[in-house]
Amino acid sequence: MGDPARLQDKDYPTEARSLGRTLIRWRHQIAAWHHAHVSNGPTEAANNLIKRVKRAAFGFTSFRNYRIRALLYAGKPNWDRNCSGPGGQPGVTLEQLA
């Protein structure tokens, strides 16, 4: 079953024929992936993160709280750098956020 065109034979089930048509239609893209090993996985991961943050932050009226939630979802934020008050002075502490 090495040739996808063979899957078009009427002796094969409908699902196998559908697979054969898909493989034929996408053959150039499939070959390109095997040649370059590049995917859009990182882009999809970033998009998923953005959607999760938006869902989690629904209802926030304070941009500051929204920003903190986004940083928490994005990973391990550097609180010394990210939680600064006006003029870049250290501001809120983790204890104050709890």
- The set of residues, in sequence order, having a beta carbon less than 8 Å from that of 90 and lying 6+ positions away, is 80, 83, 84
Closest CA to 73 of 91, 85, 90, 56: 56
Over the stretch 20-79, which tens digit does the pLDDT of each residue have?
899 999 999 999 989 998 888 889 988 888 888 888 777 778 888 787 777 777 776 766
All structural domains of the chain with their residue ranges: 4-36, 41-97
Q: Give this prediction's pTM.
A: 0.42
94 pLDDT tier (thresholds 50, 70, 90): low
Cα–Cα dist 46/55, whole Å: 14
Cα–Cα dist 67/46, whole Å: 16
Question: Where is 79: in which H helix or E strand?
Answer: helix 79-82
